[in-house]
Chains A and B, each alone.
Chain A
Amino acid sequence: DAGVTQSPTHLIKTRGQQVTLRCSPISGHKSVSWYQQVLGQGPQFIFQYYEKEERGRGNFPDRFSARQFPNYSSELNVNALLLGDSALYLCASTFTGGAYNEQFFGPGTRLTVL
Chain B
Amino acid sequence: GQQVMQIPQYQHVQEGEDFTTYCNSSTTLSNIQWYKQRPGGHPVFLIQLVKSGEVKKQKRLTFQFGEAKKNSSLHITATQTTDVGTYFCAGDAGNMLTFGGGTRLMVKP
A residues contacting B by CB (< 8 A) are: 33, 35, 41-45, 48, 55-56, 58-59, 90, 100-108
Contacts and interface: CB of A to CB of B under 8 A. Distances in A.
A56 B42 contact: no
Contacts of B98: 45
Contact of B48 (A48, A58, A101, A105): A101
Interface string B17-56: 0000000000000010101000001111100100000000
Given A59-B1, A101-B92, A42 B99 contact: yes
What is the size category of the interface that chain B forms with chain A? 20 to 34
A41 B1 CA distance: 18
Interface of B: 1, 4, 6, 31, 33, 35, 41-45, 48, 88, 90, 92, 94-102
B100 A102 contact: no
B44 A56 contact: no
Nearest to B33: A102
Given A43-B88, A56-B94, 4 more contacts: A33-B96, A100-B45, A103-B97, A107-B42
Contacts, number: 54
B42 A105 contact: yes
B43 A100 contact: no
A18 to B, nearest CB: 25
A42 B95 contact: no
Contact of A55 (B48, B92, B95): B95
Nearest to B41: A107
B33 A45 contact: no
9 contacts: A42-B88, A42-B90, A43-B99, A55-B95, A101-B31, A103-B35, A104-B45, A105-B42, A107-B42
Contacts of A106: 42
A107 B44 CA distance: 10
Contacts of A105: 42-44
Contacts of A107: 41-42
Nearest to A59: B1
